[in-house]
Amino acid sequence: MDRRIFFTMMTFSVLLGFLYLVYSVVSPFLDTLGWAAVIGITTFPLYRRLRNLMPGRETVAAAVMTPAVAVTLVVPFVGFLILLGGETTSVYQYLERATSGGTPLIVEKLLQHPRLAPLIARFKPALDSFDFDLQATVLPALKQAASYLIGYSTAIIKNFFLLLIKLGLMIITLFFIYRDGEAFLARVLSVLPLDEDDTGMLRHTVKRVLSAVVYGIFLTCLVQGFLGGVGFWFCGLPSPVVFGGLMAVAALIPVVGTALIWFPGALYLFLQGEVLKGVFLMVWGALVVGMIDNLIRPVFISGKAHLPILVIAVGVLGGVFSFGPLGVVAGPIILAVFLAFFDIYSRRVFPGETGSPAEEAEDGNA
C-alpha cells in the first residue's frame, strides 16, 4: 500500500476516534450548546450592528451583547420556570392532601355545592344502579395527573444547581459564538470539498430554516396563549389575558407546557363546584390548546422556510423524539441541509439535469 494512502487512512481513523471522544465529553451539554447556538445565530444580526459601532473591538461588543441577551431572554424564562415549578408543586401537594384519607375535600365540596347537589341527588339512583362511584372513578385520574406534575415540577427545583451550571455554560458559549462564531464557521466550511457558491447556499439554508423555526415557535406560542385565554374567559375565570400570556410562555416548556396553567384552573373550577366548566377547560386545554401546536407549527415554519409542510412536520416530530426539545429546531435543519447536499450532489453528478429534489420540494411548497 502506498505510504501516502496509508497515512491518510490512519489520520482519518484517528480523527474519527477523537470525534467520538469529543462527542462523549460534550454529550451531557449538547442541549445547552444547541440552544446557545440557536440564540446566538438568531440574534447575530443585532450583534453585527453593535460590532459595526465598535470597529476592531469584537471582544467588547460580544461582552456587551451577551449579558444584554441573557437578561432579556434567558434569565427571565429560567426565573419563570423556577417560580412556576414552585407554585405548581404547592398546588398539587394541596391536591394530594385534599384527596387523601376519608371523604376527599374535593368530593365534599362537589356534593355540598348548592347547584350541584340537586343534580347529583336526581341522578344518584341511576348511578347506583350502575355501581358508579364518583370518588373511585374521578379521583385516581386526578391524583395520577397531580403526581406526574408534582414530580416534574419538583425535578426542576432538585436540579436547580445543574440548571445554574447549564445556564452559565450557555451564556459563556453565547459570548464565544458572537466573538468567534464567524471565524469558526469559515474554518469548518473551508475543509469541505465545496466551492464558494455551495458553502454560501448551505449557510443561507441553515439561517433561513432556523429563522423560520424561531418564527414558527413564536407564533405558535402566541396562538396557544390566545386560545388558553379564550378558554379562561369562557369559563369565567379571572384575568384571562394575564393567564393567556402565562400560557404563551409556558408553551415553551417541554412535556407539560400550557398544562401548568390551565390544569390548576380546571381544578379550581372543580373545587368551586363548576363541574361542567372544569371538564370543558380540561378538554379545551388538552385537545385544543395542548395539541394545536402539532398542526400549526409546521404550517408557520413551512411558509417561511420554503419547504413542504410534510418535511417540516416530519422534521419537528422526528427531531423531538430523537433529540428532545432541541429537536424542534434540529430536525427541520437536518432535513433542510440534507436536501441542500442532495441538490449539490445532483448538480455535480448530473450537471445537465434540472429540477433537483431540493428545488422540486421548494416548488411544491409554493
Closest CA to 219 of 336, 301, 302, 316: 301
Looking at per-residue confidence, does 265 or 153 come out higher?
A: 265
The C-alpha cell at 17 is 476516534
**Are both 159 and 50 inside the same structural domain?**
yes
22-74 per-position pLDDT tens digit? 889 888 888 889 889 888 888 898 999 999 888 888 899 999 999 998 888 76
Of all residues in the chain, the percent with pLDDT exceeding 90 is 9
Domain-embedded: residue 20: no
Domain-embedded: residue 77: yes
Q: Burial level of 62, CB count in 10 A (0-12/13-18/19+)?
A: buried
**Are both 170 and 250 inside the same structural domain?**
no
pLDDT at residue 103, as a whole number: 47
Residue 107 confidence (pLDDT) above 80: no
**Are both 131 and 245 inside the same structural domain?**
no
Q: What is the DSSP string of 204-238?
A: HHHHHHHHHHHHHHHHHHHHHHHHHHHHHHHTT-S
**Are both 47 and 145 inside the same structural domain?**
yes
**Are both 218 and 318 inside the same structural domain?**
yes
Residue 239 confidence (pLDDT) above 60: yes
Domain-embedded: residue 107: yes
Q: Which of 110-119, 124-133, 345-354 has the highest mean pLDDT?
A: 345-354
Please state the domain count of the chain: 2
Domain-embedded: residue 6: no
Of all residues in the chain, the percent with pLDDT exceeding 70 is 71
pLDDT at residue 255, as a whole number: 67
DSSP tag of 291:
T
Last residue of a domain, one of 128, 158, 191: 191
Residue 295 confidence (pLDDT) above 90: no
pLDDT at residue 366, as a whole number: 47
Domain-embedded: residue 10: no
**Are both 179 and 35 inside the same structural domain?**
yes
**Are both 253 and 361 inside the same structural domain?**
yes
**Are both 229 and 268 inside the same structural domain?**
yes
Range of the domain at 143: 26-191
Residue 3 confidence (pLDDT) above 70: yes
Between 95-109, 164-178, 296-310, the lowest mean confidence (pLDDT) is in: 95-109
pLDDT band at 223; cut points 50, 70, 90: very high
Question: How high does pLDDT run on average in the chain?
Answer: 78
Q: Which of 86-90, 231-235, 304-308 has the highest mean pLDDT?
A: 231-235
Last residue of a domain, one of 160, 191, 222: 191
How far is 275 from 229, CA to CA, in rounded Å? 19
Domain-embedded: residue 18: no
Looking at per-residue confidence, does 324 or 170 come out higher?
A: 170
**Are both 48 and 174 inside the same structural domain?**
yes
**Are both 305 and 280 inside the same structural domain?**
yes
**Are both 48 and 114 inside the same structural domain?**
yes
pLDDT at residue 185, as a whole number: 85
Domain-embedded: residue 16: no
302-344 per-position pLDDT tens digit? 888 888 888 888 888 888 888 888 888 888 889 988 988 888 8
271-285 per-position pLDDT tens digit? 777 778 888 998 999
Between 67-76, 139-148, 161-170, 261-270, the lowest mean confidence (pLDDT) is in: 139-148
Q: Average of pLDDT values for 167-187?
A: 89
Last residue of a domain, one of 191, 224, 255: 191
**Are both 185 and 286 inside the same structural domain?**
no
365: three-class secondary structure by DSSP: helix
Q: What are phi and psi of 2, to 5 degrees?
A: -60, 135
How far is 300 from 224, CA to CA, in rounded Å? 13
Domain-embedded: residue 7: no
